[in-house]
């Protein structure tokens, strides 16, 4: 993509970069010449991906960073390290997210709190810190992309998903609120929400960790989206002309019912 040329050599942060969508996005951005800081609680897979990108001769670089997004101090330390080593963040991809089987009528508070910590608070903290990084360096063309979910636009008729959907509705609201605040601040920094339907990753197996057959059945029921499809959506959004604000991308398999 010609318009991705302007991001060559710029710095992107991708949260939850060890597997699935995050790994696919990190790979795509490195392929387009970006310096990508990929963070996760376990960086073994990111280190392997970084080596693969280097072997493939991609023009960018992938820098693994160990960070627990449930811990604000670790997030702030990560942004401090990025500032020291790479000046700051130009693109922030808030990809990390999780779901637990915790219905509204019987769920454990611990599971609810974990979803809030990762899906909402970590996203908000990374967004704030990314914006401050851009502002202090007078970067006026940055981009903050939230990997949302179709569950952030309609409630899935399954009790196991209801609290998760609530956190994703929050992401939808926060992305629009962010767009408004960026406009009020008279910046040209852009904000985008990308909402996939069912994507064939490790997500369902983690969500239904006590029932792997149920997880497999989710992916076998239709031709699902692939992580690379979402990575393509990210590069499409980043490639838009600087005056174009793509606020919301909703995408699902043509075979997905809702």
164 is catalytic: yes
Exposed / middle / buried, residue 218 (Cβ in 10 Å: 0-12, 13-18, 19+): middle
**Which region holds residue 147: left if phi is over 0, alpha if psi is between -120 and 50, else beta?**
beta
Candidate list 58, 131, 164, 236, residue with the active-site label: 164
CA distances (Å), 12 to each of 8, 25, 153, 232, in order?
A: 10, 10, 27, 16
Provide DSSP, 192-245.
Answer: EEEEES-B-SSHHHHHTTT-HHHHHHHHHTS--B-HHHHHHHHHHHHHS-TT--
Give residues with Cβ within 8 angstroms of 38, minimum separation 6: 14, 17, 18, 22, 23, 26, 46, 49, 50, 62, 63, 64, 65
Distance CA 163, CA 220 (A): 25
Bridge-partner residues for 251, per DSSP?
196
Is there a contact between 94 and 111 (Cβ–Cβ < 8 Å)? no
Distance CA 152, CA 89 (A): 26
CA distances (Å), 170 to each of 130, 165, 208, 209, 250, in order?
A: 19, 9, 23, 25, 16
Active site members: 164
């Amino acid at each position: 993509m010609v318009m991705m040329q302007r991001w060559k050599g710029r710095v992107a942060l991708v949260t939850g970069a060890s597997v699935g969508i995050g790994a696919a996005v990190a790979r795509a951005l490195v392929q387009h010449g970006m310096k990508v800081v990929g963070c996760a609680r376990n960086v073994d897979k990111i280190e392997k991906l970084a080596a693969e990108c280097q072997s493939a001769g991609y023009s960018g670089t992938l820098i693994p960073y160990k960070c627990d997004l449930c811990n604000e101090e670790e997030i702030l330390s990560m942004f401090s390290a990025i500032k020291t080593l790479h000046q700051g963040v130009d693109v922030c991809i808030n990809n990390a997210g999780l779901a637990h089987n915790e219905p509204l009528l019987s769920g454990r508070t611990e599971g609810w709190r974990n979803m809030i910590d990762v899906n909402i608070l970590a996203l908000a903290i990374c967004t704030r810190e990314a914006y401050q990084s851009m502002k202090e360096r007078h970067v006026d063309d940055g981009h903050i992309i939230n990997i949302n979910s179709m569950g952030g636009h309609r409630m899935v008729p399954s009790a196991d998903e209801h609290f998760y959907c609530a956190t994703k509705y929050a992401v939808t609201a926060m992305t629009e609120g962010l767009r408004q605040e960026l406009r009020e601040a008279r910046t040209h920094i852009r904000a985008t929400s990308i909402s996939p339907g069912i994507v064939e990753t490790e997500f369902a197996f983690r969500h239904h960790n006590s029932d792997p057959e149920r997880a497999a059945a989710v992916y076998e029921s239709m031709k699902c989206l692939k992580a690379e499809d979402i990575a393509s959506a990210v590069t499409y959004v980043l490639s838009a002309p600087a005056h174009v604000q793509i606020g919301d991308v909703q995408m699902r398999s043509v075979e997905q019912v809702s």
